[in-house]
């Protein structure tokens, strides 16, 4: 994929960050040790303490040239804003695991059309420190970053195909994404999330893999965006819009991913399959990012999402194995491994949460039952919890009348 651009930028070397390719005229690395100097009054000779090896800081001056340079710049911006460690392909030193040392700079110039330049500094992470420091939520965050980067890399890898077939595949995949979002019904608590996703997918008609990836990244990011509680109460006359809940956003993300996978079975080519399955991976990654903020009401609810998410990832990896084209094999293999890592990290994170959640008790009365009596039966040893339990029973089971729960399964949150 990189060699195809050598004729455009002769003399420059290729690199990539989170799967976004670029060319590098200059790169530098700051290395050394962490030394603390002590100065004492009246003493001419300072004292020094060696605090060990300092993490190498890798500085990259890069550039991207092409008709879709604005879309590529947006994809690069999204890569820089993605949290967690990532893989940097250094043009001289090869692959390395890095984190952003400081904000990057992306620049355009009126005298350099079709060109975007950037400068970024990365702090290199030793392999052993990554394994020691990332556990629990850290491992999940790292897995989310990995699958998003792998999905972008898979989409961009389709750029090696013939232009005509690639353009048709991108057009078909964009149409599929729009149809999936348009055919969905928003779950309760989703507010205006689906209209925002539809608007993001309809914002531009992509003509290249990088612009298609930027389109999917922007739509999927809506699912993974955290919705913080306002720090102050709104004014009395203000119009208050209820923010979407994390669980509703997760439901949308998994549903869209399942829609992509359902369409992949009818993909007319491997290029279509890679574009569709990589789009599903983007939404699964952002769904996992939103799960960090999920407020599960019961262990059963958490188990239900775990089962649905892991089943979706299983389906994704199985379908990725069906991609037979050798030109896509490296990128698809990386995406499949990233999906498996995400599945393991997600299961670990949710299992840790399940242990702190209450269980849902199931009652099966043979005749109509009063909700208040059921609340007293379950929480009689804690009178202060009876009223809240009664309200939850009515809300959870939605009977025609609170005094007449119909025979069948009646749920009570313990």
DSSP string, 2-30: -GGGTTTSTT-EEEEETTEEEEEEEEEEE
Tally of structural domains, the chain: 3
For residues 159 and 10, give the distance between their C-alpha atoms in angstroms, rounded to a whole number.
19
| 60 and 115 co-located in one domain | yes
Q: Residue 11's domain is classified under what CATH number?
A: 2.40.30
In terms of residue numbers, what domain contains 11? 3-36+47-133
Report yes or no on 124 lying in a domain: yes
Q: Are residues 118 and 185 in the same domain?
A: no
Distance separating alpha carbons of residues 209 and 71, to the nearest angstrom = 10
Of 158, 141, 69, 76, give the one whose Cα is nearest residue 112. 69
At a CB cut-off of 8 Å and minimum separation 6, what does 73 contact? Answer: 64, 106, 108, 116, 118
Do 106 and 182 belong to one domain? no
Compute the distance between CA of residue 286 and CA of residue 249 in angstroms, rounded to an integer. 9
**H helix or E strand, kind and range, residue 153:** helix 137-157
User: Are 167 and 272 members of one domain?
Assistant: yes
Q: How many helices (H) and strands (E) does the chain have?
A: 12, 11
Last residue of a domain, one of 72, 103, 133: 133
In a domain, 238, yes or no: no
Does 236 map to a domain? Answer: no
Examine the domain organization and report whether 101 and 214 are in the same domain.
no
Tens digit of pLDDT per residue, the chain (414 long)?
344 444 445 667 888 888 788 888 888 988 888 888 888 898 888 888 888 888 889 999 999 888 888 888 888 888 888 877 888 888 888 778 888 878 999 999 988 888 999 999 999 886 544 444 445 556 788 888 889 988 988 888 887 666 677 888 899 999 999 999 888 887 877 768 888 998 888 877 888 888 898 899 999 988 887 665 554 455 555 555 567 888 889 999 999 999 999 998 888 888 899 999 999 999 999 999 888 888 787 777 788 898 999 999 999 999 998 887 777 888 888 899 999 989 888 888 888 777 666 666 677 777 777 878 777 777 777 777 778 777 777 777 777 787 777 777 776 666
Domain boundary among 309, 339, 354: 354
Q: At 106, is the secondary structure helix, strand, or coil?
A: strand
232 in Cβ contact with 177 (< 8 Å): no
């Amino acid at each position: 994929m990189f060699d195809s651009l050598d004729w455009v930028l002769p003399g420059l070397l290729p690199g990539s960050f989170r799967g976004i390719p670029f060319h590098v005229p200059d790169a530098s690395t700051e290395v050394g040790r962490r030394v603390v100097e002590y100065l004492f009054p009246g003493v001419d000779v300072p004292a020094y303490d060696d605090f060990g090896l300092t993490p190498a800081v890798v500085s990259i001056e890069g550039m991207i040239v092409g008709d879709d340079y604005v879309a590529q710049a947006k994809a690069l911006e999204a890569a820089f804003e993605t949290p967690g460690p990532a893989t940097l392909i250094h043009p001289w030193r090869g692959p390395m695991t890095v984190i952003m040392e400081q904000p990057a700079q992306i620049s355009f110039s009126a005298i350099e059309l079709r060109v975007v330049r950037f400068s970024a500094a990365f702090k290199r992470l030793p392999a052993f420190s990554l394994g020691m420091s990332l556990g629990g939520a850290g491992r999940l965050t790292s897995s989310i970053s990995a699958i998003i980067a792998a999905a972008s890399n898979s989409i961009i890898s389709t750029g090696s195909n013939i232009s005509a077939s690639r353009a048709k595949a991108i057009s078909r995949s964009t149409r599929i994404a729009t149809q999936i979002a348009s055919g969905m019904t928003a779950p309760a608590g989703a507010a205006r999330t689906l209209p925002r996703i539809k608007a993001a997918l309809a914002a531009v008609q992509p003509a290249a893999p990088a612009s298609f990836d930027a389109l999917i990244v922007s739509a999927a990011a809506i699912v993974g965006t955290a919705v913080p509680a306002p720090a102050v109460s709104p004014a009395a006359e203000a119009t208050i819009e209820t923010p979407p809940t994390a669980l509703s956003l997760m439901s949308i993300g998994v549903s869209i991913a399942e829609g992509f996978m359902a369409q992949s079975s009818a993909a007319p080519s491997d290029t279509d399959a890679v574009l569709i399955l990589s789009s599903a991976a983007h939404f699964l990654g952002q769904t996992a990012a939103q799960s960090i903020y999920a407020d599960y009401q019961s262990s059963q609810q958490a188990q239900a999402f775990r089962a649905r998410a892991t089943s979706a990832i299983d389906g994704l990896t199985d379908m990725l194995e069906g991609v037979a084209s050798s030109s896509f094999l490296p990128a698809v293999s990386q995406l499949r491994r990233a999906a498996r890592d995400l599945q393991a990290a997600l299961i670990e994170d949710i299992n840790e949460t399940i242990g702190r959640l209450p269980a849902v008790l199931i009652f099966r009365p043979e005749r109509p039952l009063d909700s208040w009596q059921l609340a007293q039966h379950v929480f009689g040893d804690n009178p202060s919890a009876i009223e809240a339990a009664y309200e939850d029973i009515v809300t959870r089971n939605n009977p025609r009348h609170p005094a007449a729960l119909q025979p069948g399964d009646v749920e009570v949150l313990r």
